[in-house]
Amino acid sequence: GQQVMQIPQYQHVQEGEDFTTYCNSSTTLSNIQWYKQRPGGHPVFLIQLVKSGEVKKQKRLTFQFGEAKKNSSLHITATQTTDVGTYFCAGRYWGKLIFGQGTELSVKP
C-alpha cells in the first residue's frame, strides 16, 4: 500500500541549533499535513500544504511542499526546549491520510 517515509527517525540537537525533518512519498499527494506530538501527548495539527512548491512559515517553523508534490520538509530555526516532541507528516492519497513514522526531536539546553 501507499507509504510515507520520514527521516531521520531521531534528532538530538543543542538548543539554538536548527532542525529539519524530511518526508517522501512514492506517489503524488493531494496535500500534506504536519502534526506535533509532545511526549505522552496526542498529535496536534500544525499546518496543511496543498499547492506544488508551497512554502509556509509559522514563527521559527518553515514548511515546504515539493514541486512534484511527493516530498515535504519541516525546518525549525534556532530550536528551543519547547520544540521537543515527535513531528509527523501525513500525506493524503485519494482521501486517505497516511502518517509517516515521525521524527523525534530532543533538545539539550
Partner 1 sequence: EAGVAQSPRYKIIEKRQSVAFWCNPISGHATLYWYQQILGQGPKLLIQFQNNGVVDDSQLPKDRFSAERLKGVDSTLKIQPAKLEDSAVYLCASSFPSVTRTSYEQYFGPGTRLTVT
Residue 97 CB, shortest distance to partner 1, in Å, is 7
Contact 80, 69 (CB under 8 A): no
Residue 11 CB, shortest distance to partner 1, in Å, is 15
Residue 78 CB, shortest distance to partner 1, in Å, is 26
* Bond into 8 cis (ω within 30): yes
Q: Which residues are at the interface with partner 1 (CB under 8 A)?
A: 4, 6, 30-31, 33, 41-45, 48, 50, 88, 90, 92, 95-102
Residue 19 or 34 with smaller CB distance to partner 1: 34
Q: Reduced to 3 states, what is the DSSP secondary structure of residue 100?
A: coil
